[in-house]
Amino acid sequence: MAHRYRWLLFDADGTLFDFEQAEAGALARTFVRFNLPLAPNTADAYRAINAQCWQALERGELTPAALRTRRFELLFEAVGLSADIERFSAAYLEALSEMAELIDGAAEALAALRGRYRFAIITNGLRAVQRGRIARSAIRDDIAALIISEEVGSAKPAPGIFDAAFAAMGQPDKREVLMIGDSLSSDIRGACDYGIDACWFNPAGLPRPAGLPIAYEIGRLEELVGLLRR
């Protein structure tokens, strides 16, 4: 039953934070800073390349340090642009760390659940970006624990990052923790493999896959409030 949970373990990007908006804003700002043209197809290419790089990180094929620059190496090769990759990457990360827009309903959902549950964030992300964004966000005071893959040396869905999360939360019983995330491959697969309940945030209304024991599914974060009050 939903009332048994004590901890809500949230993914960051695509669950609490509007990463598409943040990514677009940071990319545009960095292209302007380097006096580079940002065509619509360039932004589309970056989104696809970045997603592929993060999937490679989930599989252990790419390190966080390599990901920082590899995505821009691939992008510039694809669109025929050139820049100092290290400087461009650093400027992009700085811009991204300042983008703290939340998914619609995130702040309201946490406010409604505040005091009844403790909140933690577990993210496959880069330290400078995630800590900067969360520190600037409207929910910064609600987050009791923040677990970042780059800091702990393990990324979802691997169990190591969940070990780090449970250590940060004070080793609660697994039955007392609910994972909420949008990614089937990292959030939901990782939670299910680790033995904790998972709530799939599925705003696009995608079909539920076979073979994953998803405990709950929501299309809007406001639905989480009603679910946890059952």
Contacts of 119 (CB under 8 A, 6+ apart): 7, 8, 10, 110, 113, 139, 142, 143, 144
What strands, in cross-sheet order, belong to the sheet with 216-218? 143-148, 118-123, 7-10, 177-181, 197-201, 216-218
CA pair distance 108, 139, nearest whole angstrom:
10
Active site residue 104: no
SS3 214: coil
SS3 79: helix
Residue reference for tokens 């299910």: 192
Rg of the chain's alpha carbons, rounded to an integer?
A: 18
Which one of 11, 13, 18, 182 is the catalytic residue?
Answer: 11
Residues annotated as part of the active site: 11
